[in-house]
Structure 1
Amino acid sequence: MEKILLITDSASDINKDFIKKNNIKLLPFKITFKDMEYEDGIDINSKMLYEMLPNEIPKTSLPSIDRLSDILEKGIKEGYTHAIIVTISNQFSGTYNSVRLFCDNFQGLKIHVFDSLSLTMAEGAIITESVELIKAGKSFEQIVNVLPKIRDNTEVFFTIDTLEYLKKGGRIGKVAGTVGEILNLKPIITIDKKGAFQAIFKVRGVKQSISKLTSIAKSKLEMSKCKVWILSGDAKEKALTLYESIRHLPNLIECKIEGEICPALGINTGKGLVGFVVETID
């Protein structure tokens, strides 16, 4: 009988209670600041990270392969026969390639490594749906075959207070950053099909950016039933405003404020991110 182990990295931003309840294993990114190394979400949280940013930009490195090896070895002892590992987009990190290379040579479990081509709860949604599929009795092969569809049905949209950190991290052009800050333009950013950031709108100020995000959510819900997760980078008031503007829309299966941006992602976005992940349900 199959027993499937689910593993993801800390960029998935999945609720810790959900992780614990469903025995999901987490691979934390490593964050280095002033010669000190932290594990994302374990000995550094978002509040600590945002306090660091004005002084020096911390550096991130890949999750530990030794930790992954330990998780898999322990999984074998616990009776797991298969593992599904979902990672952050290969456009933002070498995690997918590193994990895949290791798993290609790992013996004892049948492993599928899947590139989410995204991040935060767009990555996390693939894991949460996998949990439901396991509970429904779906086989490893059936789940693996449906992962691309879940990925294609899931999108992320967000805005940030400043382009400074995306610019410093090489995630956005310097000219775009300078012009945006001068004009107080807030970009609405998504992830394209290749798994990279793409600015799709520019609006002036916080109020208009939340209005535009609401409009995008409404357009998605007009076409299909959806699940929505509200994202926040230490921006609770803005997240609540966005939540209130979305939660009564028709075709909404569920809407949760449940995507607190992890430190490893916060390094590139800075404090103040607000947005949402939407999953279309066929």
Structure 2
Amino acid sequence: MEKIALVSDSTCDLSDEFIKAYDVKILNLKIIYKDKEYIDRVNITPQQVYDNLKIEVPHTSLPSLDDMHKLLYKLEEEGYTHVIAISISAGLSGTYNTLKLAASEHTNLNITVFDSKSLTLGCGAIVINCGKMIKSGKKYNEIVSALPLIRDNISVYYIVDTLEYLIKGGRIGKVSGTFGQLLNIKPIISINKEGVYYTYAKARGKKQAKNKLIEIIKEKLNIAKSKVWVMHGGAYEECKKFYASLKNIPNITYLGFGDISPVAGVHTGPGLIGVVIEKEQFI
């Protein structure tokens, strides 16, 4: 008899409601200041990170090997036979590779560590789909086989107020980033098939960038009905208006709203508006 555990990390940005509904075990990343270390989404909020960025830009750290081993031993004790762990993109964090290393030492469990090649609810949407399949009684091998197709149907796009924090974190080239800021160019950033950031489109100024983001959403919805999540990073009021502007667009089967984790906020800075689009499919 299979007993399947579902694991992800805190950058998946799932609400407590989804985490509880699908019994997702969360490995928390860490935010490290000079004088204190915080646990992502446990004892620090995204807003606290944004409020402090002008004073200090902290470092971020993936869950420790010890955290991973403790969780896997606990799952063994609780009688789980199989584990599906879905992580933030290996192209953006060392979490995936560290999880693979930890998993290799737990031979009593059948473990799949799956690279979402995404982040925030791009990863979270895969977790939700996986949770639904576990709950419906699908077998481990069937679920694992379905994950690549689910991943291929999910896309992430976002804009930021400033490129300053992406430049500092090495997520975008210093020369192109500085040039873009001088011209008030707002790139629409996405994630490619390798799971790393790239510039999907460009716009002059935030207003045009938001309009471009809506165009991208409509293009995707013209191809297939989709779920859409709107995410913000330190831009609640602005993002609520953006969210409201999507409500009457045809072919949206679900419209969600949330914020990105403090760990992601360190690298993007305040003012982020993003969307995750999941093309509908039947599993």
Q: TM-score, normalised by structure 2?
A: 0.96
Q: Secondary structure in 1 aligned to 2:172?
A: coil
Letter matched to residue 162 of structure 2: T
Q: Which residue of 1 aligns with 2:171?
A: 171
In structure 1, C-alpha distance between the alignment counterparts of 2:211 and 2:135, rounded to whole Å: 37
Q: Which residue of 1 aligns with 2:209?
A: 209
**Is residue 276 of structure 1 aligned with residue 263 of structure 2?**
no
- Match runs of 1:15-34 below 5 Å: 15-34=15-34
Structure 1 residue 22: Cα displacement: 2.4
Q: Tell me, which stretches of 5 or more residues in structure 1 are unaligned? A: none
Q: Secondary structure in 2 aligned to 1:51?
A: helix
**Is residue 144 of structure 1 aligned with residue 155 of structure 2?**
no
**Is residue 10 of structure 1 aligned with residue 10 of structure 2?**
yes
Structure 1 residue 245: Cα displacement: 2.3
Q: Secondary structure in 2 aligned to 1:242?
A: helix
In structure 1, C-alpha distance between the alignment counterparts of 2:145 and 2:114, rounded to whole Å: 11
Structure 1 residue 110: Cα displacement: 0.9
In structure 2, C-alpha distance between the alignment counterparts of 1:233 and 1:66, rounded to whole Å: 30
Q: Which residue of 2 aligns with 1:86?
A: 86
- Match runs of 1:186-197 below 5 Å: 186-197=186-197
Query: Which consecutive aligned stretches of 4+ in structure 1 deviate over 4 angstroms post-superposition?
Result: none
- Match runs of 1:252-271 below 5 Å: 252-258=252-258, 260-271=259-270
Tell me if the contact between 1:22 and 1:131 (Cα under 8 Å) persists in the aligned partners.
yes
1:248-282: CA deviation from partner (whole Å, max 9, x where unpaired): 22221101113x11111111100110010001113
In structure 1, C-alpha distance between the alignment counterparts of 2:158 and 2:62, rounded to whole Å: 24
My pick for the range that moved more, 11-20 or 260-269, is 11-20
Letter matched to residue 281 of structure 1: E
1:14-59: CA deviation from partner (whole Å, max 9, x where unpaired): 1122213322111111111023111111111111111221112100
Tell me if the contact between 1:221 and 1:252 (Cα under 8 Å) persists in the aligned partners.
yes
In structure 1, C-alpha distance between the alignment counterparts of 2:206 and 2:15, rounded to whole Å: 26
- Match runs of 1:89-238 below 5 Å: 89-238=89-238
In structure 2, C-alpha distance between the alignment counterparts of 1:227 and 1:23, rounded to whole Å: 22
Q: TM-score, normalised by structure 1?
A: 0.96
In structure 1, C-alpha distance between the alignment counterparts of 2:69 and 2:156, rounded to whole Å: 31
Q: Secondary structure in 2 aligned to 1:254?
A: strand
Tell me if the contact between 1:27 and 1:64 (Cα under 8 Å) persists in the aligned partners.
no
Alpha carbon RMSD of aligned pairs, Å? 1.2
1:99-150: CA deviation from partner (whole Å, max 9, x where unpaired): 1011012132111000111100001111001111112221110110010111
Letter matched to residue 16 of structure 1: D
My pick for the range that moved more, 72-81 or 159-168, is 72-81
Identity %: 46
In structure 2, C-alpha distance between the alignment counterparts of 1:238 and 1:155, rounded to whole Å: 22
Q: Tell me, which stretches of 5 or more residues in structure 2 are unaligned? A: none
Tell me if the contact between 1:160 and 1:269 (Cα under 8 Å) persists in the aligned partners.
yes
Structure 1 residue 208: Cα displacement: 1.3
Q: Secondary structure in 2 aligned to 1:179?
A: helix
My pick for the range that moved more, 183-192 or 198-207, is 198-207
Q: Secondary structure in 2 aligned to 1:274?
A: strand
Letter matched to residue 18 of structure 1: F
